[in-house]
Amino acid sequence: MTYPLPSYAVSVWVAGDNLMVAFPPVRGEHGHTIKLPISPAGLSTALAILKDRVTADDLRISQRGTPSQWDIDTNQLYKAMVASRAAEKAARQREKDEAAAFLEELGL
């Protein structure tokens, strides 16, 4: 790996149930961070953002490759990710309920 990092690089980490993507400051602006869900759709969105950053002409906030949290929250893809996350949570709860009912039938 060569240093310094490319100008289009970002920092990524996990905090709780969120995938955090931090964008560095550009041309005197403040840097900012967005939250994505930890899910296949969230990771896919993060990778799409990284791909956009490589070819973006302007890396200021709310531009292609540097979305704001508002851009993410109002995007239909993000809404689909949230719905997918809720469906996964409901499926896990159903599995737990079915397992509890089965154990109860066995008298355990």
- 2 within a domain of the structure (yes/no): no
Whether 33 has a pLDDT exceeding 90, the answer reads: yes
Q: Is the residue at 6 inside a domain?
A: no
The string of pLDDT tens digits covering residues 44-75 is 889 888 988 888 888 888 888 889 898 888 87
Query: Is 90 a domain residue?
Result: yes
Task: Please check whether residue 51 lies inside any domain of the structure.
Answer: yes
Q: What is the pLDDT of residue 5?
A: 75
Identify the domain containing residue 93 by its residue range: 11-105
Helix (H, G, I), strand (E, B) or coil at 75: coil
Residue 36 lies in a domain: yes
Q: Averaged over 21-34, what is the pLDDT?
A: 90
Helix (H, G, I), strand (E, B) or coil at 54: helix
- Pairwise CA distance, residues 55 & 8, whole Å: 9
The verdict on pTM exceeding 0.85 is no
Is the separation of the CB atoms in 56 and 64 below 8 Å? yes
What integer best gives the mean pLDDT of the chain?
85
- The neighbouring-strand residues paired with 51 are none
What's the pLDDT band for 21 if we cut at 50, 70, 90?
Answer: very high
User: Position 65: which residue type?
Assistant: G
DSSP 8-class letter at 66: B
Whole-number percent of the chain with pLDDT over 70? 89
Q: Domain count of the chain?
A: 1
- What's the pLDDT score for residue 58? 86
22 within domain boundaries: yes
